[in-house]
Structure 1
């Protein structure tokens, strides 16, 4: 099995706490995983960042590098953005790259790399009119969205955590990317 590089990008939503298991699962499927986090997700996982870097063999990134610094990760063969919060989906669709992972996702979209995203939001935010506009913008740009019946169905308002975030669905979608290469 040939190892391919996955840029796994995550927003601050409760499924991010399962990320070590997701990384291990992706690795068993032949992916060399590089983990990128929104600043808030990095804060949430601050006690685990060294362990996650050891698990992936790459530094966990959440900030842009300084000009002139070398890239710390190998180039991506595919990108998985999950969980992708309401804020992340809207910022990405609008091209607002104020944080690293949205910038990486926007670049990957522009390069026409295989990009898969699984939004994670509640029903109230999913009902906001901009959310559907943003999903359509990303679909039109070639992003495979695992949302609703094809992925994550928004949970009721104000749960402590999503009731069922289907990480296996996201990883299976990556397997399809590998099969098509």
Structure 2
């Protein structure tokens, strides 16, 4: 009879990184690197840029592991937020450098359905279950914001909803997710 595998301990891994344990960083990369690359690809929409983002994210995780505060959220969430913020910053920097002409805007990849967005989270059954409990509008807003990297104004345009409504949906949706994940 096989014994159940213990869940990966992100917090312990970050503590070990903070103490200079390179094996902990390698374990973190082995366990979560592919999913973080998926998040970065989804936001950056470019493989090479996504790889650079994940590389930078792991450097930041390594150098700032001691600053992680479990009172402010989960260790896994902290790791994902670092990657997401780096990806969004990369997109913002790229947008400043590149001016798209009308033809490029018309041929840009369109947003895909919610099912595809939710599949990104399939590696995390708990977040998937919590996302499923949200109403469709807040769920789409959160996925567009945190998976696609859209701004609140972009989400309002995508959904044809007022900006204030989108902000409220995101705020209430995040609150519901926090409560569900506790």
Fold shared, TM-score > 0.5 on shorter chain: no
Bigger helix fraction: 2
- Specify the structure having the higher radius of gyration (Cα): 2
> Which structure would you say has the larger RCO, counting Cα contacts within 8 Å and 6 or more residues apart?
1
Q: TM-score, normalised by structure 2?
A: 0.29
